[in-house]
Amino acid sequence: MTDVASQPPAPGDDRPVLTTRQGHPVYDNQNQRTVGARGPATLENYHFLEKISHFDRERIPERVVHARGVLAYGTFTADGTVGDEPISRYTRARLFQEPGKKTDVAVRFSTVAGGRDSSEMARDPRGFAVKFYTEDGNWDLVGNNLGVFFIRDAVKFPDFIHSQKPDPVTFEASVPERAFDFFSQTPEAMHMVSLVFSPRGLPASLRTMQGFGVNTYKWVNEAGETQLVKYHWLPAQGVASYTAADGAVIQGKTLGAHTKDLYDSIEAGDHPSWELHVQLMDDHDHPELDFDPLDDTKVWPENIFPLRKVGTMTLDRMPENFFAENEQISFGTGVLVDGLDFSDDKMLVGRTFSYSDTQRYRVGPNYLQLPVNQAKNAAVATNQQGGQMQYAVDANGANPHVNYEPSITGGLREGQAPTHDEQGPEIVGRLTRARIPRTDDYTQAGERYQLSEQWEKDDLVTNLVDALSQCRREIQERMVWHFFLCDDEWGQRVGDGLGISADDVRGLEPLQSQTLTEAELERAANLG
């Protein structure tokens, strides 16, 4: 069916012909079908209706957090060892066992708070999410570039994110008063605040930032013995950051400087790489430490729990399509392979529900059938069926009628269980809602300040004074009080910048949401 005679192709024009999704050639892509040249339009015009109604549905909900991101592909190469020990001593995960074993990876770097088209020069943690397409199925390591987080209980996440997002009335974005109102009432955020407002909150490029799993996971060996583990990505390119002034100049020219830098380097053959290191701890609660190993607002001291290398990741390929790959890739902390496991970290368990829940809503119930999300290097055979957009049908053995299990007539069977049960600690306790006993919200934040170089301290103080100057006095005072409890010099310098002294804040009562130790109470009584 055609209204207008198609033009013969120009000599030598061998481009493919435009069609509808039904495979019908389109002979006129410039004019709708109308009654006479001046209209009215007719309703049966399939090509026009299909084109415009698909366009009307081009957007899916953007990620509720980490909406702005960039994707690249590459390879992880295992060492077969963890430091100088055989890795099989600690984990049976197959991707790590053989020296030189290669696993395909997809990596998505992101900012957290901004929308899909927002600036990459925002002061914000960066997401560092890696999907390993292993022979045992996919493993996602969904982390950030700073190593800790603002909160330690998943129930606080929606409130925390609302404080970082635009005002619900005016939609004004990046409002310091909203963010610091929340931080001032959240003492466990001080460690992360010490990082986000330091130069590390604005990486010079994605290639020059570290990555961390942040939450505590477990490794399980062949005997079922468990270890607590934290993951670290160390960039071969070194670590480099921008100041706020550098970032402002770049942002004046482009919102996508980090994506461009990453893709330019990949295209030029200058492939960025990161070493993967781990810290290991025996699997118990470690009463000798002044923090809880399951608390994601803490780092594990490297002098006690040294970094041990397990492999290297190199990125060498860009996606072919932004939407199909970057927008639809779906990471989650529940996506683990045999030999890797969860810990009871209260953030990790909450995250593990949240990711696949949002992806069923954001991408659809069959999001795992999309090429970028498939476990492409493992056999997949489920009895799942139906749902919007199902297109793949799993191979399910000799009798495709049997889409259930168990059955004596065919279909899929259960796999062989690992030879040993997990030998992790036994846990007994009452159901409760309670803070972990060892909160220690200030020590590591203060140490971070003290260990910074002078220019990093100066940058931190400048950035904090700049943001806090836009907040009301009660918020400023409470933040200065927290900084004094972290480190006297830090409190003094931010206070000087805001015209607030130790005398002004010494009388503040501890927050209801915190339990201070005797030593902290004494410090609070003698601030400055």
Which residues are part of a known binding site for heme? 355
CA dihedral 257, 263, 269, 275 (to 10 degrees): 80
CB atoms within 10 A of CB 157: 17
Between 242 and 331, whose beta carbon lies closer to ligand HEM?
331
Of 32, 118, 243, 358, the residue at the interface with ligand HEM (CB under 6 A) is 358
Binding mask 8-47 for ligand HEM (x = CB under 6 A): ----------------------------------------
Instruction: Tell me whether residue 31 is one of the annotated catalytic residues.
Output: no
The rounded distance, in Å, linking the Cα atoms of 467 and 175 is 9
The region of 345-353, 423-431, 473-481, 493-501 touching ligand HEM under the rule CB under 6 A is: 345-353
Between 358 and 462, whose beta carbon lies closer to ligand HEM?
358
Query: C-beta of 134: minimal distance to ligand HEM in Å?
Result: 19
Q: Which residues are annotated as a binding site?
A: 355
**How big is the chain, counted in residues?**
528
Helix (H/G/I), strand (E/B), else coil: 231: strand
Between 102 and 362, whose beta carbon lies closer to ligand HEM?
362
The rounded distance, in Å, linking the Cα atoms of 214 and 231 is 7
Between 143 and 424, whose beta carbon lies closer to ligand HEM?
143
Between 210 and 396, whose beta carbon lies closer to ligand HEM?
210
Between 239 and 402, whose beta carbon lies closer to ligand HEM?
239
Between 178 and 351, whose beta carbon lies closer to ligand HEM?
351
Binding mask 287-306 for ligand HEM (x = CB under 6 A): ---------x----------
What single-letter amino acid sits at 467? A
Verify binding: residue 154, ligand HEM, rule CB under 6 A: yes
Verify binding: residue 230, ligand HEM, rule CB under 6 A: no
- What are the distances in angstroms from CA 506 to CA 140, 516, 523? 46, 15, 10
The region of 256-264, 274-282, 325-333, 431-439 touching ligand HEM under the rule CB under 6 A is: 325-333
Q: Say if CB 385 and CB 379 are below 8 A apart.
A: no
Query: C-beta of 474: minimal distance to ligand HEM in Å?
Result: 27
CB atoms within 10 A of CB 432: 5
The rounded distance, in Å, linking the Cα atoms of 275 and 231 is 10
DSSP strands (E only) in 414-505: none
Q: Say if CB 293 and CB 228 are below 8 A apart.
A: yes
Between 160 and 483, whose beta carbon lies closer to ligand HEM?
160
Of 78, 93, 95, 142, the residue at the interface with ligand HEM (CB under 6 A) is 142
Verify binding: residue 407, ligand HEM, rule CB under 6 A: no
The tokens for 87 are 């890795």
Catalytic residue among 138, 144, 326, 366: 144
* CB burial string 233-244: b at 16+ within 10 A, e below: bbbebeeebbbb
Verify binding: residue 157, ligand HEM, rule CB under 6 A: yes
Query: C-beta of 161: minimal distance to ligand HEM in Å?
Result: 8
The rounded distance, in Å, linking the Cα atoms of 240 and 202 is 9
Query: C-beta of 313: minimal distance to ligand HEM in Å?
Result: 15
- Residue 279 half-sphere exposure, CB side, CA atoms within 13 Å? 20
CA torsion sign for 234, 238, 243, 245 is: negative
Task: State the SS3 of 445-460.
Answer: HHHHHHHCCHHHHHHH
* Residue number closest to ligand HEM, CB atom: 127
Verify binding: residue 347, ligand HEM, rule CB under 6 A: yes
Verify binding: residue 108, ligand HEM, rule CB under 6 A: yes
Q: Helices 473-486 and 518-525: crossing angle, nearest 10°?
A: 120
Verify binding: residue 118, ligand HEM, rule CB under 6 A: no
Verify binding: residue 359, ligand HEM, rule CB under 6 A: yes
Instruction: Tell me whether residue 258 is one of the annotated catalytic residues.
Output: no
Verify binding: residue 354, ligand HEM, rule CB under 6 A: yes
Query: C-beta of 58: minimal distance to ligand HEM in Å?
Result: 18
Verify binding: residue 165, ligand HEM, rule CB under 6 A: no
The rounded distance, in Å, linking the Cα atoms of 394 and 384 is 9
The rounded distance, in Å, linking the Cα atoms of 476 and 478 is 6
Catalytic residue among 66, 191, 232, 482: 66
Between 211 and 495, whose beta carbon lies closer to ligand HEM?
211
Verify binding: residue 330, ligand HEM, rule CB under 6 A: yes
Task: State the SS3 of 126-160.
Answer: EEEEEEEEECCEEEEEEEECCCCCCCCCHHHHHHH
Task: Identify the burial level of 202 via C-beta atoms within 10 angstroms of its C-beta, where 0-12 means exposed, 13-18 middle and 19 or more buried.
Answer: buried
Of 65, 70, 192, 262, the residue at the interface with ligand HEM (CB under 6 A) is 65
The rounded distance, in Å, linking the Cα atoms of 48 and 57 is 14
Non-local (6+) Cβ contacts of 326 within 8 A are 69, 70, 71, 108, 319
* Total number of residues that touch ligand HEM (CB under 6 A): 28
Verify binding: residue 121, ligand HEM, rule CB under 6 A: no
The region of 97-105, 139-147, 461-469, 498-506 touching ligand HEM under the rule CB under 6 A is: 139-147
Verify binding: residue 164, ligand HEM, rule CB under 6 A: no
What single-letter amino acid sits at 149? F
Residue ranges that bind ligand HEM, judged by CB under 6 A: 63-66, 69, 108, 110, 127, 129, 142-144, 149, 154, 157, 214, 296, 329-331, 347, 350-351, 354-355, 358-359, 362
Active site residues: 66, 144
